[in-house]
Structure 1
Amino acid sequence: MKKLLTPAVISLALLLTACGSGDYAATEIPQKPQPSESSAPPPAPQRDCVDPLQSYTPEGTMPPPGAMPPGTYMAKIKARGRLIAGVSADSLNLGSRNPVTGVIEGFDIDMIKAVARAIFGTDKGTVELRVISSPQRIPVLQKEQVDIVARNMTINCNRWKDIAFSAEYYRSGQKTLVPLDSTAKSLDDLDGKTICAPAGSTSLDNLKDKNPQAIPVTADTDTGCLALFQSGKAYGITGDDTVLAGDVAQDPYARVLPERFSDEPYGLGMSLKHPEFVRFVNQVLAQIKADGTWMASYTKWLQPALGKLASPPPSLYGRTPGT
Structure 2
Amino acid sequence: MTRRRIGLAVVATAATLLALAGCSGDSSNSGDSSLLPGTASAGATPGAAAAPDTSCNPRASVKPLAALPPPGHMPAGSYMAKIQANGRLVLGTSQDTLLFSSRNPFTGKIEGFDVDMARQIAQAIFGNPDKLQIKVIPYDKRVKSAMDGSVDIVADTMTANCARWKDVDFSSIYYEAGQRVLVSSDSAAKTIDDLGGKKVCAASGSTSYDNIGKVKTKPLPVAKATFGDCLVAFQQNEVDAVSTDDTILAGMAAQDPYAKVVGPKFTQEPYGMAMSKIHPEFTAFVNAVLAKNRANGTWTATYKKWLGAFGAPPAPPAAEYK
Aligning the two structures, in what range does the TM-score lie when normalised by the shorter sequence? 0.7 to 0.9
Aligned residue number for residue 267 of structure 1: 272
Which of 284, 287, 310 aligns to 1:279? It is 284
Deviation at 1:276, TM superposition (A): 1.5
TM-score between both structures, scaled by the size of structure 2: 0.76
Shift of the 247–213 alpha-carbon distance from structure 1 to 2, 3 Å rule, reads: closer
Q: 1:112 is matched by which residue type in structure 2?
A: A
Residues 77-98 of structure 1: CA deviation (Å, up to 9, x unaligned):
2222211112232222222222
Q: 1:51 is matched by which residue type in structure 2?
A: N
1:296 maps onto 2:298 in alignment: no
| Preserved contact between residue 6 and residue 250 of structure 1 (Cα < 8 Å) | no
Which of 121, 124, 129 aligns to 2:127? It is 121
Deviation at 1:100, TM superposition (A): 1.9
Q: 2:301 is matched by which residue type in structure 1?
A: A
| Preserved contact between residue 196 and residue 234 of structure 1 (Cα < 8 Å) | no
Shift of the 278–218 alpha-carbon distance from structure 1 to 2, 3 Å rule, reads: farther
SS at match of 2:178: strand
d(CA) in 2 for partners of 1:206, 1:60: 41
d(CA) in 1 for partners of 2:285, 2:267: 29
Which of 137, 142, 161 aligns to 1:132? It is 137
Aligned residue number for residue 175 of structure 2: 170
Q: How many residues align?
A: 284
Residues 175-200 of structure 1: CA deviation (Å, up to 9, x unaligned):
01134455655434254735124866
Matches within 5 A, 1:210-229: 210=215, 214-219=220-225, 223=228, 225-229=230-234
Matches within 5 A, 1:58-73: 58-73=64-79
Which of 138, 146, 149 aligns to 1:141? It is 146
Residues 16-36 of structure 1: CA deviation (Å, up to 9, x unaligned):
9xxxxxxxxxxxxxxxxxxxx
1:240 maps onto 2:242 in alignment: no
Deviation at 1:14, TM superposition (A): 6.4
Matches within 5 A, 1:41-52: 49-52=55-58
Deviation at 1:205, TM superposition (A): 5.0
Matches within 5 A, 1:69-218: 69-124=75-130, 126-180=131-185, 182=187, 184-188=189-193, 189-191=195-197, 193=199, 195-197=201-203, 203-210=208-215, 214-218=220-224
For the aligned residues, what is the CA RMSD?
Answer: 3.0
d(CA) in 1 for partners of 2:178, 2:281: 30
Shift of the 78–105 alpha-carbon distance from structure 1 to 2, 3 Å rule, reads: same
- Give aligned-pair identity as a percent: 45
| Preserved contact between residue 184 and residue 190 of structure 1 (Cα < 8 Å) | no
d(CA) in 2 for partners of 1:265, 1:55: 12
TM-score between both structures, scaled by the size of structure 1: 0.76
